[in-house]
Amino acid sequence: MLAHTAFEEDDLDALLAGRLGHPHRMLGPHRRTVEGVSSLFIRAWFPFAVRVDVIPGVSTDSPTPMTRLHEAGLFEVMLPDTISVPSYRFRIEEAGGSVVERHDPYAFSLLVADFELHLFSEGTFHKGYDCLGAHIRSLEGVTGVHFVVWAPNAARVSVVGDFNRWDGRCHPMSNRGTSGLWELFIPGLTERTLYKYEILSRHDDRLLVKADPYAHAAELRPRTASIVRELSHYVWHDQAWMAARSRWNPLTSPISIYEVHMGSWMRVPEEGQRWLTYEELAHTLIPYAKDLGYTHLELMPVTEHPFDGSWGYQSTGYFSATSRYGQPEEFMAFVDAAHQAGLGVILDWAPAHFPDDPHGLATFDGTHLYDHADPRRGYHPDWHSRIFNYDRTEVRGFLLNSALFWLDKYHIDGLRVDAVASMLYLDYGRKPGEWIPNTFGGHENLGAISLLKELNILIHREFPGAMTIAEESTSWPGVSRPTYAGGLGFTFKWNMGWMHDMLTYFSRDPIYRRFHQDQLTFGLLYAFTENFVLALSHDEVVHGKRALVDKMPGDVWQRFANLRLLYGCMYGHPGKKMLFMGGEFGQWKEWNHDASLDWHLCENELHHGIRRLIRDLNHLYRTEPALHEADLDWSGFQWIDFNDTDNSVIAYLRTSPTTKSSIVCVCNLTPVPRHHYRIGVPEAGWYRELINTDSFCYGGSNVGNSGGVHSTHSPSHSYPHTLTLSLPPLAVLMLKREPA
């Protein structure tokens, strides 16, 4: 569809001033009747050209020279109306004699449909990532890249890149009205083209150069250009996994998560301590995690980010897999390989805040487009970053699109949403007078609450079996309860209370633990109020908090025994499991994102024993329904005794509601072996020792019960039968009654 037949002087002035918001109205082909004859006027804008010819169609056609209308680079020609639009090309001669041929971007119709503009403005354009950003298109036999960006307060937006000398005069985009979207199809551009948007702010005439918020790839820092990438070429091989996932119930399934920072899990010392690539990680990390029996990998953010020290939590590329480790299709292959190995992939996703890097979202079109201008709402005092405006429809759409994008394009199995508490509370990290109450005078962020609910509804509806996990550290009710019941709708919530109490308890010298046994047992008072993940995450082993084994009291042997005890308690406790990398072999040093884990430690028997224990605990957890089936319900847990504070011993039952089988868990939290220790059990029989964390094979002293023990018919702890056990020091026993 052709534009107006002529241009106004105002349009020429705007073009020359770099403020033209409707270039299709002035540039490109325009039909006009002159003296009764219909003719085609073609107008072009080439600031670097000394001569421009039009080649009407095929290469054998004779070129027609264009007339220079303005010395700044505006050209025009009149041709017969028989010329095919948009098949004509320009032949452009630049100063120095170089000659190039290209199609006319303004000969192609605008592509964003009216209904897409409506959905975008309404906030229901849930697959907007297939439209916004940069996408390779083929229009009427001509291949190029279609660019769409949201910048409602811009006077002009241009696409800039190597293809036009990064000069914003060359390719101004067309404004799509009240939607605030701008678009342009540039023929001839290909995949891997570098580009940005040059934005002239209507607000204060500032000229900004911004990366594409919807870009599918970006340059490796410190370079910041966006990269045109097509994501549909990769051929997936995980159909069986995806089909099974859609029928999977995560609440009753074993979930054991290995949390990983891809840049520091393992490095290549022979090559300057470089990172492993996505491909190399697929060949090393995935078999390693599978061998240890984990069900899922959780990746700290792979969204593109400029600062390594943010660990990915301050992102500038919410649709870009970081180029640190390779190309988008290589990350797809990583996820594919994980699925084929039977491992799910969870991605850390950070919608709570974004950095103020000049190429990013901050003051994107010269205004606080994605955040609040008032620092009491828009500035994060803890992280010195910007807070998203969750009340703005287009910002909500951006975040929802980002979340859905990773599950759609990369087959991600779940999102762990970072810093949910900071989203929920307007006064998070603020002193009185530093925040603005909501409409009702409260401190709840109503926009963030509704966004999180919508996010969870969409993910669970569109991607059955996918999980959402909230890092939420307060007592906000119903985080993992359905939205129809008043909850936020997450599948799971990190159990931060359990983590805090356990680490505090285990850091105490065992001689004093008798006075603090409530820290060990208190978590059971609320263990089933949410769908909990027991998380020992990266946050617990940085910033002077010390590594897990280094938190433990005592000599080296006791520290490792305490760590084995902690893991045994974790796997016996109701809730899904998560452990940060390095914890599985007792890394001594705090995590350092700039260095590899200390893999040489695994040559030491104590460290190797920890890893062997994690493997056996994962195997037992996955194969015994009693340990996972009712993780989230009282029907799967029953105390035997939690009152023996003098000996610092607790005992309980884990039970499967379907198989009716039970696991007896007994924890001795002191270095004193307890012989002839009696606990009650509900059934008579031979109880086999499934796990003894004090076993020789784990680095322990091998105190135990020679593989099992018979019950006696004498009441104890309100049960009709008794087990008389030898409790090893600083250890957990897990026992199961064998069928008669």
* C-alpha neighbours within 13 Å on the C-beta side of residue 721: 14
Q: Are 212 and 196 in contact (CB under 8 A)?
A: yes
The alpha carbon of residue 252 and the mean position of all alpha carbons in its chain are separated, in whole angstroms, by 24
pLDDT beyond 70 at 217: yes
What are the pLDDT digits (tens) for 450-477?
999 999 999 999 999 999 999 999 999 9
Q: Which whole number is the average pLDDT over 538-555? A: 97
Q: Which whole number is the average pLDDT over 700-729? A: 96
pLDDT beyond 50 at 544: yes
What are the pLDDT digits (tens) for 134-154?
999 999 999 999 999 999 999
pLDDT beyond 50 at 362: yes
Torsion over CA: 550, 554, 555, 560 (sign) = negative
191 is catalytic: no
Q: Are 354 and 388 in contact (CB under 8 A)?
A: yes
Q: How far apart are CA 394 and CA 233, in angstroms?
A: 29
Q: Are 727 and 666 in contact (CB under 8 A)?
A: yes
Contact residues for 110 (Cβ-Cβ < 8 A; gap 6+): 24, 174, 176, 183
pLDDT beyond 50 at 732: yes
DSSP string, 228-269: ----S------HHHHHHHHT--GGGS--EEEEE-TTTS-EEG
DSSP string, 273-315: SEEPPHHHHHHHHHHHHHHTT-SEEEEPP-EE-S-GGGTTSS-
Q: Which whole number is the average pLDDT over 275-293? A: 98
Residue 470 token pair: 């909230």
Q: Are 578 and 298 in contact (CB under 8 A)?
A: yes
Q: Which whole number is the average pLDDT over 242-268? A: 97
Contact residues for 640 (Cβ-Cβ < 8 A; gap 6+): 651, 652, 653, 664, 679, 680, 681, 717, 719
Contact residues for 145 (Cβ-Cβ < 8 A; gap 6+): 134, 135, 136, 137, 185, 186, 189, 190, 193, 228
| Residues paired with residue 31 on neighbouring β-strands, in sequence order | 40
Selecting among 116, 183, 365, 471, the annotated active-site residue is 471
> Which residue matches tokens 């796990």?
691
Q: Which whole number is the average pLDDT over 212-233? A: 97
418 is catalytic: yes
Q: Which whole number is the average pLDDT over 418-435? A: 96
- Residue 306, class by beta-carbon neighbours within 10 Å (0-12 exposed, 13-18 middle, 19+ buried)? buried
Q: How far apart are CA 44 and CA 527, in angstroms?
A: 68
Give the predicted TM-score (pTM) of the model. Answer: 0.95
Of 490, 415, 410, 411, the residue nearest 449 (C-alpha):
490
Q: Which whole number is the average pLDDT over 103-112? A: 96
pLDDT of res. 4: 39
pLDDT beyond 80 at 581: yes
Q: Can you list the positions of beta strands (E) in 140-202?
A: 142-150, 154-161, 174-175, 181-187, 194-201
| Prior bond of 86 cis (ω within 30°) | yes
> Which residue matches tokens 């990190």?
494
What are the pLDDT digits (tens) for 493-525?
999 999 999 999 999 999 999 999 999 999 999
pLDDT of res. 203: 86
pLDDT beyond 50 at 2: no
pLDDT of res. 679: 98
pLDDT of res. 87: 86
Q: How far apart are CA 555 and CA 552, in angstroms?
A: 9
**Res. 59 pLDDT band, cuts 50 70 90:** low
pLDDT of res. 6: 58
Contact residues for 11 (Cβ-Cβ < 8 A; gap 6+): 20, 22, 25, 26
Q: Which whole number is the average pLDDT over 380-385? A: 92
Q: How far apart are CA 64 and CA 75, in angstroms?
A: 12
Q: Which domains are assigned to the chain?
A: 9-104 (2.60.40.10), 114-210 (2.60.40.10), 633-737 (2.60.40.1180)
pLDDT beyond 90 at 387: yes
Q: Which whole number is the average pLDDT over 687-699? A: 98
Q: Which whole number is the average pLDDT over 111-126? A: 97
pLDDT of res. 471: 97
- 83-86: long-range pairs with CB below 8 Å, 24+: 83/29, 83/40, 83/56, 83/57, 84/56, 84/57, 85/2, 85/29, 85/40, 86/29, 86/139, 86/140, 86/142, 86/187
Share of the chain above pLDDT 70, in %: 98
pLDDT beyond 60 at 349: yes
Selecting among 418, 540, 624, 694, the annotated active-site residue is 418
pLDDT of res. 60: 64
pLDDT of res. 37: 78
| Prior bond of 222 cis (ω within 30°) | yes
**Res. 236 pLDDT band, cuts 50 70 90:** very high
pLDDT of res. 58: 65
* Cβ atoms within 10 Å of 501's Cβ, excluding its own: 18
> What mean pLDDT value characterizes the chain?
95
Apex 499 CA angle, 498 and 500, nearest 5: 95
**Res. 5 pLDDT band, cuts 50 70 90:** very low
Q: Are 343 and 295 in contact (CB under 8 A)?
A: yes
Contact residues for 738 (Cβ-Cβ < 8 A; gap 6+): 685, 686, 687, 688, 708
Residues in the chain: 740
